[in-house]
Structure 1
Amino acid sequence: MIKLGILFGGRSGEHEVSLVSATAMIHAADKTRYRIVPIGITKKGDWLLYDGPVEKIADGSWEAYALDCLQKDPARYSIAILGTGGRSLKDTADFIIPAVHGPYCEDGKLQGLLDMADIPYAGSGVTGSATAMDKIIAKAIFKDAGLPVGPYVPVMAEEFRRDYPAVKARIEAQLTYPVFVKPANMGSSVGISKVNDGSTLEAALEEAARHDRRIIVEQGIDGIEVETSVLGNYGDLQVSCVGQISYTADFYDYEAKYQNEDGLTLTIPADLPEEITAEMSRIAKEAFLALDCCGYARADFFLEKGTNKLYLNELNTLPGCTGVSMFPLLWKHSGLDFTQLVERIVELGYERYSITHRG
Structure 2
Amino acid sequence: MVKKTQVGLIFGGNSSEYEVSINSGHNIYNAIDQDKYDVHPIWMTNDGYLASEADSFKVLNNPKYTVETPHKVANLANLSELGNLPEIDVFFPIVHGNLGEDGSLQGLFRLLDKPFVGDDVLSAAVTMDKEFTKILAERVGVKVADWISIKRFEYDDLNNTKRDYAKVSEQLGGDLFVKPANQGSSVGVHHVTNAAEYEQALADAFRYDDKVLVEETIHGTEVETAVLGNDKPIVSGVGQIINAQGDFYSYANKYDDSSTTQLQIPAKLPAEIVEEVRSNVLKVYQVTECNGLARVDFTLRDSDQAIVLTEVNALPGFTNISMYPKLFEEAGISYTDLITKLIEAGLEYYDHKQTLLHKID
TM-score, with length taken from structure 2:
0.90
The answer to whether the Cα contact below 8 Å between 1:319 and 1:327 also exists between their aligned partners in 2 is: yes
The answer to whether the Cα contact below 8 Å between 1:19 and 1:58 also exists between their aligned partners in 2 is: no
For 2:130, the equivalent position in structure 1 comes to 135
Q: 1:205 to 1:109 in 2, by over 3 A?
A: same
Report deviation, 1:132: 0.1
1:17 has 2:20 as partner: yes
1:212 has 2:237 as partner: no
The answer to whether the Cα contact below 8 Å between 1:222 and 1:304 also exists between their aligned partners in 2 is: yes
Report deviation, 1:152: 1.0
Match of 2:183 among 182, 186, 211: 186
The answer to whether the Cα contact below 8 Å between 2:55 and 2:67 also exists between their aligned partners in 1 is: no
What's the secondary structure of 1:292's corresponding residue?
coil
Matches within 5 A, 1:146-161: 146-161=141-156
**Count of residues in Structure 1 that have an aligned counterpart in Structure 2:** 345
| Residue ranges of structure 1 left out of the alignment (5+ in a row) | 71-79
What's the secondary structure of 1:241's corresponding residue?
strand
| Residue ranges of structure 2 left out of the alignment (5+ in a row) | 72-77
Report deviation, 1:202: 1.3
1:350 has 2:347 as partner: yes
Letter of the 1:357 partner, please give it: Q
Percent identity for Structure 1 against Structure 2: 35
Report deviation, 1:316: 0.5
Report deviation, 1:62: 4.0
- Cα distance in 2 for partners of 1:92, 1:295 equals 23
What's the secondary structure of 1:281's corresponding residue?
helix
1:241 has 2:237 as partner: yes
- Cα distance in 1 for partners of 2:303, 2:217 equals 15
Matches within 5 A, 1:44-59: 44-51=47-54, 56-57=59-60, 59=62
- Cα distance in 2 for partners of 1:152, 1:60 equals 38
Letter of the 1:244 partner, please give it: Q
Letter of the 2:96 partner, please give it: H
For 2:335, the equivalent position in structure 1 comes to 338
1:141-194: CA deviation from partner (whole Å, max 9, x where unpaired): 111222111111111122122135511255222211221100100001111111
Matches within 5 A, 1:1-359: 1-51=4-54, 56-57=59-60, 59-64=62-67, 81-82=79-80, 88-164=83-159, 166-167=161-162, 168=164, 169-234=166-231, 236-249=232-245, 250-358=247-355, 359=357
Runs of 4+ with >6 A deviation = none
Report deviation, 1:261: 4.4
The answer to whether the Cα contact below 8 Å between 1:50 and 1:62 also exists between their aligned partners in 2 is: no
- Cα distance in 1 for partners of 2:116, 2:58 equals 24
1:187-231: CA deviation from partner (whole Å, max 9, x where unpaired): 011111110122211110010000001101111111000000111
What's the secondary structure of 1:48's corresponding residue?
coil
- Cα distance in 2 for partners of 1:162, 1:155 equals 11
Q: 1:308 to 1:336 in 2, by over 3 A?
A: same
- Cα distance in 2 for partners of 1:128, 1:172 equals 32
Q: 1:113 to 1:274 in 2, by over 3 A?
A: same
The answer to whether the Cα contact below 8 Å between 1:90 and 1:118 also exists between their aligned partners in 2 is: no
The answer to whether the Cα contact below 8 Å between 1:90 and 1:117 also exists between their aligned partners in 2 is: no
Farther off after superposition, 315-324 or 158-167: 158-167
Q: 1:53 to 1:38 in 2, by over 3 A?
A: closer
The answer to whether the Cα contact below 8 Å between 1:23 and 1:55 also exists between their aligned partners in 2 is: no
The answer to whether the Cα contact below 8 Å between 2:90 and 2:114 also exists between their aligned partners in 1 is: yes
1:230-269: CA deviation from partner (whole Å, max 9, x where unpaired): 11113x1110011101113322111111114441111000
The answer to whether the Cα contact below 8 Å between 1:37 and 1:51 also exists between their aligned partners in 2 is: no
Q: CA RMSD in A?
A: 2.1
What's the secondary structure of 2:252's corresponding residue?
helix
- Cα distance in 2 for partners of 1:118, 1:145 equals 33
Q: 1:155 to 1:59 in 2, by over 3 A?
A: farther
Letter of the 2:124 partner, please give it: S
Letter of the 2:33 partner, please give it: D
For 1:74, the equivalent position in structure 2 comes to none
- Cα distance in 2 for partners of 1:199, 1:40 equals 40
